[in-house]
Amino acid sequence: MNNEEISGHQTLGPGALSHLRVADFSRVLAGPMATMVLADLGADVIKIEQPGVGDETRTWGPPWWGEGDEATSTYYLALNRNKRSIALDLRDSNDVAVARRIALGADVVVDNFRVGTMARFGLDRNSLAVEQPRLITCSVTGFGSEGEGAMLAGYDLLVQAMSGVMAITGPADGEPTKIGSAMVDNLTGLYAAIAVLAAVERRRESGVGQHVEVSLMSAALAGLLNVGSGHVVADVDPGRQGNRHPSIAPYQPYRTADGTLAIAAASPVLWEKLCKALRREDWLTDKRFVDNGARIVNTDALEAEIEEVLAGNTTAVWLKVLRVAGIPVGPINTVRQAFVDAEDLGLDPVVVLDNPESTAGEIGAFRSVRSPIRMSSTPLTVRRRPPLNDEHGLEVRREIAD
């Protein structure tokens, strides 16, 4: 398809990575997230799945898309658009030979098997680079490929627990709590995509590929950001603070007359604007609130004073007043409300693909969350709905036979 309009949303054309082919041996979340980013950017991603069930996430529902035996989980759909699928049984020597041809014909090979699995099938970089030194391989692991963690399976929940993420999440007087979505897997996938792109750029200069690896645990620790730095630099082991920030105030949700509003007055200028907008200029000279350090010490008192003012009107009114004053502020939305809000803000958060080559299991147009990446010359596109298992098996076999 060339320059074809999709539901009035976007024009298709070659993406920034349309020159790359990716052999994707990964499944579940972190690996497929990385390859979907590359696919959205234009890469031709061939998803290698086991026969039958395929990627485990195909069965992780509800919610479902479709009906009956053809229904597919929305979990799988979230991570596999713009890919082609071929089913190969790596326990079968003939299928391993096909997988090897796909890998050798690719620019990038991605996997998230247990450490050593790709080597056992002759699909690791050391085995493949003998014939194709330009090949880039990327492994997503749970806890690295060396040391005691190499044999451990990694899942988002497990790593949220082990990395300290849960220890700093949730009410201050409550239990450790996981983040509501698989943020560790997501972050790991993004790091992996970045690493692959860096390796592609390096290959352009050197002519030689390399192996890159990202572990869930390392990504989670890096994702702690200021919290991790606080431990490494200042030997602080923080606990949960609920919705408060350990270093900034006011920077939390506050109750209004009919709901809650998140306010992020994270600088002296914004603090002054907030005081004026709430008609409490006296806070500017109040010793309890005179600077950020004082406000952190007196967070309880600050919260009580702000909420006393906000109780005088509704969330909608305060949202308008504070935004006009230039203060970062927003409602606490449900997921449904978040998409409505994003649409109202002009972000166009949903992409719709009317695929004329519809197949069994497809009901109507395919809807997907739009990538946050915007590129002026090579815009990201949704060219394919997530594939059925082995949907492109014959097509891929013909290609590698040429």
- pLDDT per position as a tens digit, 319-330: 999 999 999 999
CATH topology of domain 251-333: formyl-coa transferase, domain 3 (3.30.1540)
Which range in 7-11, 144-148, 307-311 is most confidently predicted, on average pLDDT?
307-311
Judged against a pLDDT cut of 70, whether residue 178 lies above it is answered with yes
Q: Looking at the predicted structure, is the pLDDT value of residue 166 above 60?
A: yes
Is 363 exposed, middle or buried (CB count within 10 Å of its CB: 0-12, 13-18, 19+)? exposed
Going by their DSSP bridges, the two strands 44-49 and 83-87 should be labelled as parallel
Looking at the chain, the whole-number percentage of residues with pLDDT higher than 70 is 94
The region of weakest confidence among 11-25, 205-219, 339-353 is 11-25
In sequence order, what are the beta bridge partners of 212? 138
Residue ranges per domain, the chain?
5-225+349-401, 251-333
Whether the per-residue pLDDT at 363 is higher than 80: the answer is: no
| Residues above pLDDT 90, as percent of the chain | 88
Spell out the residues 6+ positions from residue 393 whose beta carbon is closer than 8 angstroms to its own: 85, 86, 87
Write out the two tokens for 200: 């592609």
111/80 Cα distance (integer angstroms) = 14
Q: Vertex 128, ends 123 and 130: CA angle to 5°?
A: 150
In the structure encoding, which two tokens stand for residue 79, read together?
Answer: 């991570």
Distances (CA, A) of 318 to 77, 311, 343: 38, 10, 21
SS3 content of the chain, % helix, strand, coil (to 5): 40, 15, 45
For residue 339, give the DSSP letter: H
Q: How many CA atoms lie within 13 A of 237 on its CB side?
A: 3
| Whether the domain at 5-225+349-401 and the domain at 251-333 fall into the same CATH topology | no
pLDDT band, very low/low/confident/very high, at 204 (cuts 50, 70, 90): very high
pLDDT at position 180 over 80? yes
User: Is 5-225+349-401 a CATH 3.40.50.10540 domain?
Assistant: yes
pLDDT tens-digit map of 100-139: 999 999 999 999 999 999 999 999 999 999 999 999 999 9
Residue 355's pLDDT is what?
A: 57
Instruction: Give pLDDT, residue 360.
Output: 43
CA distance 159 to 224: 12
And the tokens for 61? 């529902």
Residue of 185, 235, 291, 348 with catalytic role: 185
Told to judge if 40 belongs to the known catalytic residues of this protein, a careful annotator would answer no
DSSP class per residue in 20-61: -EEEE---SSHHHHHHHHHHHTT-EEEEEE-STT-SGGGG--
The predicted pLDDT at position 66 comes to: 84
CA distances 86 to 139, 163, 232, 395, Å, are 20, 35, 45, 9
Phi/psi zone of residue 345: left (φ > 0), alpha (ψ -120 to 50 degrees), beta?
alpha
Q: What is the dihedral of CA 86, 91, 93, 97, to 10 degrees?
A: 40
Euclidean distance between CA atoms 144 and 151, whole angstroms:
9
Helix (H, G, I), strand (E, B) or coil at 295: helix
Angstrom distance (rounded) from CA 100 to CA 92:
12
14-63 pLDDT, tens digit per residue, is 799 999 999 999 999 999 999 999 999 999 999 999 999 899 999 999 99
Task: Please check whether residue 140 is in contact with residue 26, taking contact to mean a CB–CB distance below 8 angstroms.
Answer: yes
Answer yes or no: are the C-beta atoms of 351 and 367 closer than 8 Å: yes
Q: Is 13 a residue whose pLDDT tops 90?
A: no
Q: Quick one: which of 373, 389, 393 has its CA closest to 381? A: 373
Which comes out higher in pLDDT, residue 363 or 221? 221
Which token pair is 273?
């604007």
Q: Is the confidence at residue 8, as pLDDT, over 60?
A: no
Residue closest to 136 by CA, chosen among 116, 157, 107: 107
Q: Which residues pair with 111 in a beta bridge?
A: 139
Cβ–Cβ < 8 Å for 209, 133:
yes
